[in-house]
Amino acid sequence: PATSHQPPATNHQPPTVSVSLPTFLSIDQLATDAMLTLGEDAAHHMRVLRLEAGARVRLADGQGGRGAGTVVRVARRNATVQVDSCDFVEPLPPVHLVVPIADRERMLWLGEKATELGASSWRPVLFKRSRSVNPRGEGPVFQQRLRLRMASALEQSGGAWLPTPFPDSTVETSIAAAPEGVRVVLEQGGASIAELLSADRLAPVTIVLGPEGGLEPSELELFAAAGFRPASLGSSLLRFETAGVAALAVARAIRG
């Protein structure tokens, strides 16, 4: 008798493809059904990705808002996106970073990684040994470059919060601005940073990174008088940007 040549029955389903949507940062807070105007950088990125009206994108505002939207229009200098849905992401426990004014490129690299690791704020300080560095990352033009680098890092990492950037400051200003809580300054020979950060898991944390060559004794005395304790990341002498990444990683591992 004739036989059927139908393919055998199978329970296998086609694989589900997970598509990662590009993320764009808005300077305006997200709200469902709102129309957002994104700037020239976003419009350029969309053209590079060949996104047109109707394309789906992810959105963030750097202030806890995260959502999804639909591209309405892509022009030369801006793009319009409608917010389809959004929610609010609670901030992580606060970890504030006090950084040295140092080599520009190394500061930009640290700013990028600090964003990915969820630093709550970024405060650059002109230490005594910062003055010998050239070219230094300081001033309004550099601060704008830093914000752009942080924004790009937030888009890439899928985070919800940008670090709050503060202007260049002195040691005294950084101490006065530090919140009450766990205060540490990275210094060889100090106590284990993991032990210090585990002491009070609910208190805000402020981590001070010294410049290349370390802090001057007079600067260490000022921090010590304000309750900052020396903290060590191990026996190796680390560059400031490496120390910053390592300290933030430890803080986030302990405190979330």
Q: Per-residue pLDDT tens for 37-78?
A: 999 999 999 999 999 999 999 999 999 999 999 999 999 999
Residue that wins the pLDDT comparison between 80 and 18: 80
Is residue 214 predicted with pLDDT exceeding 60? yes
Is residue 15 predicted with pLDDT exceeding 60? no
Write down the pTM of the prediction.
Answer: 0.86
- Do the bridges between strand 56-60 and strand 23-25 make them parallel or antiparallel, or are there none, so unpaired? parallel
Cβ atoms 203, 255 nearer than 8 A: no
Helix (H, G, I), strand (E, B) or coil at 5: coil
Q: Alpha carbon of 144 to those of 141, 147, 151: distances in Å?
A: 5, 5, 11
- pLDDT score of 199: 85
- pLDDT score of 8: 41
Is residue 135 predicted with pLDDT exceeding 50? yes
Helix (H) / strand (E) containing 163: none
**Average of per-residue pLDDT across 197-209:** 92
> From CA 6, how far away is CA 159, in angstroms rounded?
50
φ, ψ (nearest 5 deg) of residue 48: -60, -40
Q: pLDDT band for position 256 (50/70/90)?
A: confident
